[in-house]
A = this chain, B = another copy of it.
């Protein structure tokens, strides 16, 4: 029988082999009844298997505090466990329960993090993955493959009327932006109902598309209960929109999958709440596993942090996330990584140097909406940064070449550095 393989980082006050065996047993055919020979044969068929244990360091302080005796040693290891696909078939919520269920409460573990998992080939027949993904989303937004998509979120998050939002969209459209989105805190508020916002915003975007041939992508936040999401989705389709946003942790896997199944719009997956799963270095889930779960649902665009993000995630970890999005999975198109968190254009250089790709949606907030010369200059400045990076220029050279980007360097980076570079 085909198997699913999962890699965990574990930390345990017990013997590592024992803890790994408990993980496998608890998450498969665990029992406490004495069974017949015949049943034992059945059980073996469905049992999880510890495939590999790689011991790591020992620590004296547990990752998750607990009632441990003074002097307890906590052993860390990388463990690979496998399950027969027949245990759950192609039921992803049950796969999630298997990978991430009761073991997270188990006293066997003072730390536990699912790092990644692999599904067998037959999954390709059951899961399409992203309908639009990287290439389809860029095509919908009229962005060339060799260019990054440039985007921003409307701010303030709350308190704008649909007219205010439409005015901002008009300015951003005139400035040449590719992508705009609602803030994740806004779906339908007292000052901005969903329907009215879609109407006013799409009036601007459709008129612009008629004029220029390019339809800016706006991700409307449809997050809600099932009926709300269904009716909001239809509102966007009927208005000629191309994208919806879903707070995937707030609505959950099953609803996210259903939205992706509808198949008419590129789905922008916002991962707010992700910190709860990932902020602890030795507890929760790492992005490669999370990304695969989302791609099994079929999301087209997935949040990651960028280089020098404001959430404190290391550059290496942020780059690992971007690479995860671009890694082949299922038959499907890559998911478009949405690079965000404190991005102002200056990070384009290291991002491009280390990844050598423009396969991303680059979200800038303050750099665009708060550009000292206005948001038109802000959009231009981000484009300048990426053009510089792609053409092998340094940040300093690009700042010398372009006034609008230079203003961002003055605002966000060490201006002394820039001045000394400008002089040399």
Contact = CB atoms under 8 A, between A and B. Distances in A.
B273 A97 contact: yes
Contact of A107 (B92, B225, B247, B310): B310
A226 interface: yes
B276 A94 contact: no
Contacts of A65: 280-281
Contacts of A281: 65
A30 interface: yes
A104 interface: yes
Interface in A318-358: 341
Nearest to A100: B273
A91 B224 contact: yes
A97 B254 contact: no
A223 B311 contact: no
Contacts of A39: 156, 159-160, 164
Contacts of A366: 32
Interface stretch (A72-80, A180-188, A212-220, A391-399): A180-188
Nearest to A184: B97
A295 to B, nearest CB: 14
Contact of A105 (B159, B160, B250, B275): B275
Given A43-B156, A88-B189, A185-B88, A93 B276 contact: no
A352 B233 CA distance: 50
A90 to B, nearest CB: 9
Interface string A176-198: 00000000111111110000000
B191 A258 contact: no
A105 B279 contact: yes
A252 to B, nearest CB: 1
Interface in A149-207: 155-161, 164, 184-191
Contacts of A258: 225-226, 255
A283 interface: yes
A160 B312 CA distance: 48
Given A185-B87, A189-B46, A255-B252, A224 B276 contact: no
A261 B227 CA distance: 11
A277 interface: yes
A284 B277 CA distance: 9
A97 B190 contact: no
A57 B112 CA distance: 28
B247 A226 contact: no
A164 B280 CA distance: 43
B247 A225 contact: no
A190 B94 contact: no
A197 to B, nearest CB: 14
A366 to B, nearest CB: 4
Given A43-B156, A66-B312, A88-B185, A273 B223 contact: no
A370 interface: yes
Contacts of A104: 273-276, 279
A49 B294 CA distance: 34
Interface of A: 1, 27-35, 39, 42-43, 45-46, 61, 64-67, 84, 86-89, 91-94, 96-98, 100-107, 155-161, 164, 184-191, 221, 223-226, 228-229, 247, 249-258, 261, 272-277, 279-281, 283-285, 310-313, 341, 365-366, 369-370
30 contacts: A28-B157, A31-B156, A32-B370, A39-B160, A46-B158, A46-B189, A65-B281, A67-B312, A89-B190, A92-B224, A92-B225, A94-B185, A94-B186, A96-B249, A97-B272, A100-B276, A101-B185, A102-B184, A102-B272, A102-B311, A103-B275, A104-B275, A105-B275, A107-B312, A225-B254, A225-B257, A226-B258, A251-B253, A252-B253, A279-B283
Given A96-B249, A252-B255, 13 more contacts: A27-B185, A30-B156, A31-B156, A39-B159, A66-B312, A67-B312, A87-B158, A94-B224, A97-B223, A102-B273, A107-B312, A253-B255, A280-B283
